[in-house]
Every structure is written in C-alpha cells, then in structure tokens.
C-alpha cells in the first residue's frame, strides 16, 4: 500500500539516520535526543511525510556535536605510551636483526618513492605553470582560429595592432605584446647570437617577473633594455651591468646601442615563457613599420589582463572587429574565430598552437609518467607485503608470547602497522634524498627543461607526503598485520603453525609484481624500439654530406660562396631562401574548389642536387630553361597523391594565384621533425636576392674538413656576426636528443622495475629455502643432484613468471603503443623484440636470483639440518 498523509503509521524516520544517531550518540543523552527527534518527525509526518524525513535526517546531523558524541567510539583503543615505546624498540631491533630483508624492503621502497616524488614534482609543476603571476587568474592570451585550406590552425600569435582593439574595451585592464626574435649581441669582443624578445612596457606590469636591479619600467625608454642575470654575467662578469651599453644587430639592419636599464631574475622554472633580453617593442615597430601595420601579419603574442570580475566571453565577442580588419586584407587564410585562453592553460595547450610562445611537456608524457609512478609504488608495496609475510617466520615465537601474555588481535595489528610506518618513514626520507641528490640532477643533465625540488604550495607538500606515507603504509602493511594477528598462539608455540608463501595469496602477489614489472618493461622496450626506428630512419635524402650556413646579407652570401667554390673538396653549393630541415613556409594550393596547405620551399638552382634529394620522375630545375625561373615547380610524391594525379608530370595548378607546371617529382623526404607526418611539398625557384642560406655539399667523408674551412672563412667574411652554420645531419638533433633522453629515463625505470621484482623474489626465495631446507636435505641424501635441486627451486617461480608475461606484456605494449600513436602520426610496425628482450632479461634475473641461493643448499650438510631439533 502506498503511504498517504492520512496514514502516519506507515511512515517512519529514515532508518540510516536513526541508526547513525544511535551509533554516535552518547548513551546518557540518546533517549531524550532520539525522543525529541521522533516527536518532531511524527508531528510533521502527518502533513508532509517526505519533508519530515529530510528534516529528521537534518536534525540528526545537527545533533552530531562534540557534546553528544560518545567518546569511546572516537578512540577505539589507546595503547599506553609504554606499549608504543615497546613497539618502536622491537620494531627497530627487528630491522637490525633481519638486516638483509629490511635493507631490501627499505631500498626497494625508497627507490620507488624517490621516483614517485620526482614524478610528482614534475606533474605538480606542469599543472601549476605560470600561476605564480599575481594577476594570473585575469590574464588571457588571444588565440586566433585561422582557416588554411580545409583545416583550422590555432595561432598563438596575432597582429601587432590587435592591442589597439583590445584597449578600446572597458573590461580590459592592460594589454602586453611580446615578440621573439634572434639578433647578434655584442659587447667588446664578445659576439653571440641571442634570443632577443621585444615587449611592451606594460609586459612588466601584467606579469610578475622579478627585476633584481635597476628600473622595472625602463622599457618605456627606447634605448633601454632588460637582461637576465645569467646573460649579465656572461657579458659583464662581476661588474655592475646596470647602465652599461651593449650593441644589438637585427637582421639586415644597422647596429643599435642599448643601455641596460634593469636586471631580470633568471626566468623561474615554473614559467613557461623564456627570454634573455627584453627590448621595447617600439623598436621592432620602427624597424619594420609595414609588418606592424599589416592586419594579417601574425607577428606578436598578445596577452590581456581583464579588470577584476570582467568576463572573457564578452571581450571575445568584441574581437569581431579584429576579425573584420584582418579579413579585409584579403588574406587567403581567413580568421574564423578568436579565443581567450587563460594563462594557466596557455602552456598546457601550447602543443596544439602554431607560433606558441610557451612550452611545456606533452600531456601524453605526463599521463605516462603518472602511470609509471603508480606502477613503481605498487611494485614496491607488493614487494614489501611478500617479504613481510615471509619474514614472519623468524618472529612466530614473539607473536605467540605476546598473545599468551595478553595481546589481542588489535594490539598485534597495531604493532605491525607501527613498525611498518617506521619503515615507510625511513624509506620516504631516503626517497627524498634520492630525488634531491640523484634523480633531479640526473633529469637536469638529460633535458632542456629543468626542474627543481620545489612544490607549488605547502598544502601540496603536506597533502602529498602525508597521503603517500598513509597509502604506502596501509597498502604494504595491512595484509601482513592482519595475517600475523590471526595466528593461533598455542599452535605457534607448539610449532605447528604453517606460514609462508605456500598460500595462494602470496603467489598472486608475486604474480602481480611480475605483471606490473612486465608491463613497464615491455612498455619501455616498445618506446625504445620506436626511437631506434627514428634514429635509423631514412630521411628521404642523404643528409651526411651537406652543410648549411645562414647568412645575414646578400654580400655575405656572395663572398662566402666564392670562397667555398674554390675549395677542392666541395662538390657543389647553392643558395636558398628556405632550407629543408629547420625552415619552410606554407602555401595554399588550389585543388578544384578547395585549397590545400602545402609546405613551400623557394630555393636556388642546384639546391636540390646539393641536398641529395632523390628524383622519382621528370627532371630537376635547369637554369637554362626560361620557364624554370617563373612557373616550373618540383613536388613530392605526397603532393601528387593529395592532388589525385597518377601522372603528375606536366600537370598544372594554381598556387598563390600563379599558374604552375610540374616538371619533376621527388621521393618523399622529412623536412620537419618526426612529430608531423610528411605532407605535400612544393619547391619553386627563388631569386638570388632572397637567399638566406648557403648549402654546401662536401665530398663523402670530408664534411668535417670543409666545415672547419667554412668556419674560418666566416670570420673573414663577417667578423661582426656570430657563425650559425650547421651540419645537415644535425638538424633533427633536438628531436633525437629528446628521444635519447627519454630512452635513458625509460632504461632507468625498466632497470628499477626489474630490480624491485628481483629484490622481492630474493627475499621470498631465501625464506622459502629456510622452510624447505629439511626437504632438500632429505632429497640430497636420496641422491638428488644440483641440477635437479635447482630445477625444483625454480619450478614454482617460472610458472608465475610465464603467466605474468602473458598478462603484462600485451598490456604494456598496448599502453605504450597508444601513447606513441597520440604523439607521432606515423605508424610504427610492432616488433617482437620488446617482448623477447623483456622475457629474456626477466628469466635471467629470476634464474640468477634463485641461483644465488643455490649455494646455500649445496653447501648445507644434510646431517646437520636433519639432526637439529
């Protein structure tokens, strides 16, 4: 029957609330409180039964006050301080007595904790990048959505004049633009190519970068400049740099002298923006007024600080006028939308932006690291559990006596947990030391992005270390404590209690360890295999013979070219506007009604030959053919495929409103790092006055000599400019270097995961052996030889290892492959090597670990073992 308001007997107060009340309430006041609550309930239940229930629950919660709570529930048991002291003393003595297993446990735990601490610091700083700026919650970067052909790109850069549009808005507190450049900086005889950034004076108002000497607002003066501490030391040593002058030469322009107005603190590690020199943006406007006035030239990064309480959406809507001004220029790449990206997301989203100013790790990598950390911690905890359960054998008598003397189950649990917290605390301290002295310095030697032993806030420190200690202590300690406490005292003292790893549970634990270990091992191997793949990859051309030298002026180009031409070991040379590997512009190509984005390289005659690019069909450019100067193009295979041509030669298409004819097709080659798939490429002839790079091809094996010669020549040709030449084989070095660094980290993690599992196995085997010593002795007496004993010892473990391999290895491969897929577009064929390496190395480790104990069995005198008792 449905309960109705007329049928109050049917309604009763919610049971859970009533029970909760009875559970917490002090017996002395329970009756009156419960009585009052019920009385109120039945009174209103007559009219509103549903409301009454809610009210009852609310009242019960409100009664939950210190005065009404039964205190015996709060402290279920409080051991006397003497007992706690005793726990610590026995715990400590035990650590010392079982030194080897204790060391195994503590080492394993602290290595895993050290890695976890480092990874946490990494994640913590990743999620708190840039949030230390005072106005960080009000600062946004303007990001434009630009349609190129049939795709939309997110530009983190914007036109110079966008700032004027923003400043018209009353919700805007301030706008700051910054533009990154390179320039040659010179003080006395020190000449370096530097990252030089132009910024509005308001940049220093919006952001909280610290100025340690001089004037924060000095960018208002056109001849003043801010430089970082580090650069100040490079140029001026220990003398006071403020007020000194340095001269800076921008491309194609005369030198300008600047006075140092202030010293910036070195860019903090929790900033995603880096700069060494800050110059007034006005200078750039003066040098290139045409670019600054151009609405469709994405030349600066624009940051805006909103007034407190203002909504970014509203401001974004008012940016429609910017879109109009931009699109009125008739740019073939229209802006279709704008977005205000909050400062704290700018770095994390930077990998999706074009022209990103900020930089941070790829999110996939952060997820991978997090998973690794959890794996390592679990491995170490399982280790601890297994060894702890096994090591109980030496303490059975102690537990028996404790129980006889009057310890309950609770007290034994408490004792073991206390010991466990002690061990975990020691491991945590050791882990911190490891992270501080070994892991983080190691990281800093591997990666360009540095890290420090710092946290975003002290709450984070408390939460992290407290949580870590609690989780590790509970996971690793709960089972052994429960297991030990359930022993029967009489049986123990009679020597009848069975213990150790016969139990299924400890086999499962060991299995879980191996599964985790295999997962991380195979995952790491898969990644290493993929980077090996990149390392050995064919770039689509022979990169070993070429040298590229960027030049500042045409005059330099001519002089250098003439010098190079006379060198006997130079095979060929050519100038180019865009150089394959580090440069390249995009062009829009018409395909029927749609437009396709293609990589465009305007080059000089002979450049393709000098770069060793492989011709598939047709011909390369010829200086003698007049049309080659104008309308001929060479494309790559991918271009032909995108256009849908089966016969690409002599086809024509329109590019940037000019009709072009295909004269040759090149094999696909890599022009960018391996993060991007090979796309369509168009190569055209550029006039000599636009050349920015001289490419030189040396005889095979002579590239070093020729490079030395060019370096020497450069000093004569351009004594004022820093030499920026490089070997073509080095262009992907930053990519490959990053990959090699990742490899080293993964080697380390695989090594640790093997080490941890080996440690756990060692502890377990050694305890099991003690238990089975008698069995082995009997076998020896009946004639068992070393080989059969070794086989016997291994049998238990090999099954576990094999099962774990079939569970863990595919999981590891799957996880790592899906991560690789999210970062690299190219499909990397799965190879059997990672699996082979993982199972072989694991088997070797297992055999070695078990074998190390074999000596004990062989040397043991059976009569001695059997006679004891």
- Reported as type and span, the H/E element at residue 57 is helix 49-62
Closest distance to other proteins from the beta carbon of 40 (Å) = 6
Q: Counting beta carbons within 10 angstroms of the beta carbon of residue 42, is it exposed (0 to 12), middle (13 to 18) or buried (19 or more)?
A: middle
Residue from 3, 11, 34, 354 touching other proteins (CB under 8 A): that is 34
Q: How far is the CB of 6 from other proteins (least distance, A)?
A: 18
Strand-pairing partners, residue 104, are none
- Min dist CB 14 to other proteins, Å, is 15
Helix (H) or strand (E) holding 802: helix 786-823
DSSP 829: P
Closest to other proteins by CB, 34 vs 221, is 34
Residue 1 Cβ vs other proteins, minimum distance, rounded to whole Å:
22
User: Helices 27-45 and 15-24: crossing angle, nearest 10°?
Assistant: 160
- Strands 570-576 and 693-698, sheet pairing: antiparallel
> Strand 298-306 and strand 139-148: pairing?
antiparallel
3-state secondary structure of 270: coil
Residue ranges in 155-201 assigned as alpha helix (H): 162-167
To the nearest 10°, report the CA torsion of 68, 73, 79, 80. Answer: 20
Count of chain residues binding other proteins (CB under 8 A): 19
Helix, strand, coil shares, percent, the chain, to 5: 55, 20, 30
Q: Three-state DSSP class for 209? A: coil
Q: Min. distance of Cβ 55 from other proteins in angstroms?
A: 10
By beta-carbon proximity to other proteins, the closer residue of 31 and 708 is: 31
Name the segment binding other proteins (CB under 8 A); options: 38-46, 154-162, 235-243, 595-603: 38-46
Residue 11 binds other proteins, judged by CB under 8 A: no
Q: How far apart are CA 87 and CA 84, in angstroms?
A: 5
Question: In the complex, what is the shortest distance from the CB of residue 31 to other proteins, in angstroms, rounded to a whole number?
Answer: 5
Burial of 358 (0-12, 13-18, 19+ CB in 10 A): buried
Instruction: Considering the complex, state which of residue 67 and residue 498 has its C-beta at the smaller distance from other proteins.
Output: 67
Residue 56 or 726 having the CB closest to other proteins: 56
Contact track, other proteins, 387-406, x by CB under 8 A:
--------------------
| Closest distance of CB 755 from other proteins, Å | 58
* Binding test (CB under 8 A) with other proteins, winner from 35, 268, 467, 704: 35
Which CB sits closer to other proteins, 41 or 732?
41
Residue closer to other proteins by CB (options 29, 583) is 29
Given CA atoms 843, 847, 848, 850 in this order, what sign does their dihedral have? Answer: positive
Contact between 37 and other proteins per CB under 8 A:
yes
Would you say 28 or 787 has its CB closer to other proteins? 28
Q: Does 313 bind other proteins (CB under 8 A)?
A: no
Stretch that binds other proteins, among 25-33, 245-253, 342-350, 584-592 (CB under 8 A): 25-33
Whether 412 contacts 489, CB under 8 Å: no
Distances (CA, A) of 483 to 25, 101, 401, 410, 480: 33, 19, 17, 12, 5
User: Contacts with other proteins in 39-98 (CB under 8 A)?
Assistant: 39-40, 42, 58-59, 62-63, 65, 67-68
What is the token pair recorded at 25? 């309430």
For other proteins, which residue of 24, 38, 91, 364 counts as binding (CB under 8 A)? 38
Please report where in the chains the tokens 């056109």 appear, as a residue: 222
Task: Report the nearest approach of other proteins to the CB of residue 75 (Å).
Answer: 22
Single residue of 5, 7, 32, 747 touching other proteins by CB under 8 A: 32
CA distance 239 to 300: 34
Is 31 or 168 the residue whose CB approaches other proteins more closely? 31
| Least Cβ distance, residue 72 to other proteins (angstroms) | 19
Could you tell me which stretch among 32-40, 563-571, 741-749, 847-855 binds other proteins (CB under 8 A)?
32-40
Which region among 28-36, 46-54, 125-133, 752-760 touches other proteins (by CB under 8 A)? 28-36
In 216-303, which residue ranges form alpha helices assigned H by DSSP?
229-236, 281-287, 289-293
In whole angstroms, the minimum distance from the beta carbon of 106 to other proteins comes to: 50
Q: In this complex, which beta carbon is closest to other proteins, that of residue 33 or of residue 802?
A: 33
Q: Which stretch binds other proteins (CB under 8 A): 30-38, 505-513, 588-596, 857-865?
A: 30-38
Q: Using CB under 8 A, which of 24, 33, 499, 741 touches other proteins?
A: 33
Nearest residue (CB) to other proteins, 3 versus 542? 3
By C-beta, is 40 or 430 nearer to other proteins? 40
DSSP code at position 699: P
Element spanning 407, H or E: none
Placement of tokens 């200690």 in the chain: 469
Does residue 655 contact residue 682 with C-beta atoms inside 8 Å? yes
- Is the CB of 30 or the CB of 366 nearer to other proteins? 30
Cβ 712 vs Cβ 564: under 8 Å: no
C-alpha dihedral over 492, 496, 500, 501, to 10 degrees? Answer: -150
Residue 664: φ, ψ to 5°: -150, 155
Q: Which one, of 285, 297, 304, lies nearest residue 335 by Cα?
A: 297
User: Which C-beta is closer to other proteins: that of 11 or that of 169?
Assistant: 11
If you compute the radius of gyration of the chain from its CA atoms, what whole number of angstroms results?
36
Shortest Å, Cβ 39 to other proteins: 5
Please state, in angstroms and rounded to a whole number, the distance separating the CA atoms of residues 446 and 159. 37
If the CB atoms of residues 58 and 833 are measured against other proteins, the closer one turns out to be 58
Which of 16, 19, 23, 36 lies at the binding interface for other proteins (CB under 8 A)? 36
Residue 65 or 75 with smaller CB distance to other proteins: 65
How far apart, in Å, are the Cα atoms of 688 and each of 193, 548, 574, 658? 25, 16, 10, 20
* DSSP code string of 412-445: HHHHHHHHHHHHHHHHHHHHHHHIIIIIHHHHHH
> Minimal distance in Å, beta carbon 58 to other proteins?
8
Shortest separation between residue 38's beta carbon and other proteins, angstroms? 5
If the CB atoms of residues 63 and 709 are measured against other proteins, the closer one turns out to be 63
Lay out the site mask for other proteins across 468-507 (x = CB under 8 A, - = otherwise): ----------------------------------------
Minimum distance between the CB of residue 44 and other proteins, rounded to whole angstroms?
12
Handedness of CA 528, 531, 537, 542 (dihedral sign): negative
Gap between the Cα atoms of 762 and 381, Å rounded: 15
We find the least distance from the C-beta atom of residue 12 to other proteins, in angstroms, to be 10
Instruction: Give me the residues that bind other proteins (CB under 8 A), please.
Output: 29, 31-40, 42, 58-59, 62-63, 65, 67-68
């Amino acid at each position: 029957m449905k309960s109705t308001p007329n049928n109050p007997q049917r309604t009763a107060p919610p049971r859970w609330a009533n029970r909760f009340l009875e559970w917490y309430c002090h017996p002395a006041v329970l009756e009156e409180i419960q009585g009052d609550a019920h009385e109120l309930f039945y009174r209103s239940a007559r009219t509103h039964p549903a409301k009454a229930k809610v009210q009852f629950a609310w009242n019960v919660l409100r009664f939950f006050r210190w005065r009404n709570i039964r205190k015996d529930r709060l402290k279920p048991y409080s051991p006397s301080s003497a007992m706690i002291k005793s726990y610590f003393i026995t715990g400590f003595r035990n650590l010392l007595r079982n030194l080897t297993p204790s060391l195994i446990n503590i080492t394993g735990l602290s290595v895993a904790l050290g890695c976890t601490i480092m990874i946490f610091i990494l994640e913590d700083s990743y999620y708190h990048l840039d949030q230390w700026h005072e106005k960080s919650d009000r600062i946004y970067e303007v990001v434009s959505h630009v349609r190129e052909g049939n795709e939309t790109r997110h530009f983190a850069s914007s036109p110079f004049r966008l700032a004027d549009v923003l400043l018209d808005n009353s919700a805007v507190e301030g706008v700051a633009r910054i533009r990154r450049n390179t320039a040659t900086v010179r003080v006395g005889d020190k000449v370096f190519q530097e990252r030089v950034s132009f910024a509005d004076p308001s940049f220093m108002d919006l952001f909280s970068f610290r100025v340690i000497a001089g004037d924060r607002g000095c960018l208002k003066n056109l001849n003043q400049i801010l430089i970082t501490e580090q650069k100040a030391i490079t140029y001026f040593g220990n003398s006071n740099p403020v007020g000194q002058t340095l001269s800076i030469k921008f491309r194609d322009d005369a030198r300008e002298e600047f006075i140092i107005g202030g010293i910036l603190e070195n860019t903090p590690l929790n900033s995603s923006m880096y700069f060494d020199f800050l110059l007034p943006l006005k200078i750039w406007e003066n040098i290139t007024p045409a670019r600054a006035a151009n609405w469709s030239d994405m030349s600066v990064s624009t940051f805006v600080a909103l007034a407190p309480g203002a909504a970014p959406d509203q401001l974004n809507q008012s940016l429609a006028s910017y879109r109009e001004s931009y699109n009125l220029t008739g740019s073939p790449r229209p802006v279709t939308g704008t977005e205000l990206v909050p400062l704290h997301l700018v770095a994390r989203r930077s990998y999706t932006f074009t022209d990103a100013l900020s930089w941070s790790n790829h999110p996939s990598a952060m997820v991978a690291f997090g998973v690794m950390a959890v794996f390592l911690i679990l491995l170490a905890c399982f280790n601890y559990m297994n060894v702890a359960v096994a090591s109980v054998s030496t303490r059975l008598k102690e537990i028996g006596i404790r129980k006889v003397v009057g310890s309950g189950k609770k007290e034994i649990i408490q004792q073991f947990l206390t010991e466990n917290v002690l061990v975990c605390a020691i491991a945590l301290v050791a882990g911190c030391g490891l992270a501080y002295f070994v892991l983080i310095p190691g990281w800093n030697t591997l990666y360009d992005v540095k890290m420090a032993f710092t946290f975003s806030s002290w709450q984070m420190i408390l939460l992290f270390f407290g949580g870590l200690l609690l989780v590790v202590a509970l996971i690793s300690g709960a089972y052994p404590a429960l297991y030990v406490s359930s022993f029967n005292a009489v049986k123990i003292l009679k020597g009848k209690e069975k213990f150790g790893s016969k139990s299924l549970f400890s086999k499962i634990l060991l299995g879980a360890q191996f599964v985790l270990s295999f997962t991380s091992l195979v995952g790491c191997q898969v990644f290493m295999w993929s980077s090996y793949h990149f390392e050995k990859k064919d770039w689509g051309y022979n990169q070993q013979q070429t040298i590229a030298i960027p030049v500042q002026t045409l005059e330099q180009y001519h002089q250098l070219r003439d010098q190079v031409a006379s060198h006997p070991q130079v095979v060929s040379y050519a100038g180019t506007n865009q150089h394959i590997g580090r440069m390249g512009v995009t062009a829009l190509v018409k395909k029927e009604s749609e437009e396709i984005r293609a990589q465009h390289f305007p080059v000089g005659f002979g450049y393709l030959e000098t770069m060793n690019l492989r011709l598939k069909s047709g011909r390369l450019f010829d200086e003698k053919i007049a049309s080659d100067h104008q309308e001929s193009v060479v494309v790559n295979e991918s271009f032909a495929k995108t256009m849908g041509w089966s016969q690409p030669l002599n086809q024509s298409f329109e590019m940037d409103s000019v009709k072009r004819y295909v004269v040759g097709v090149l094999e696909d080659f890599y022009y960018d790092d391996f993060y991007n798939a090979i796309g369509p490429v168009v190569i055209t002839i550029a006039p000599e006055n636009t050349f920015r790079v001289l490419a030189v091809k040396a005889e095979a094996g002579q590239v070093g000599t020729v490079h030395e010669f060019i370096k020497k020549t450069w000093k004569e040709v351009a004594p004022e400019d820093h030499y920026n030449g490089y070997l073509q084989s080095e262009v992907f070095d930053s990519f490959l270097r990053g990959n090699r660094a990742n490899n080293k980290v993964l080697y380390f993690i695989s090594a640790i995961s093997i080490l941890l599992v080996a440690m756990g196995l060692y502890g377990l085997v050694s305890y099991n052996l003690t238990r089975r010593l008698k069995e082995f002795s009997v076998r020896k007496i009946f004639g068992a030889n070393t080989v059969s004993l070794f086989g016997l010892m291994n049998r238990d473990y090999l099954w576990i290892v094999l099962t774990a391999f079939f569970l863990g290895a595919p999981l590891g491969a799957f996880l790592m492959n899906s991560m690789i897929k999210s970062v690299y577009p190219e499909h990397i064929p799965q190879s059997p090597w990672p699996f082979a390496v993982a199972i072989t190395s694991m088997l070797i480790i297992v055999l070695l670990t078990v074998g190390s104990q074999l000596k004990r069995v062989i040397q043991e005198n059976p009569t001695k073992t059997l006679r004891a008792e």
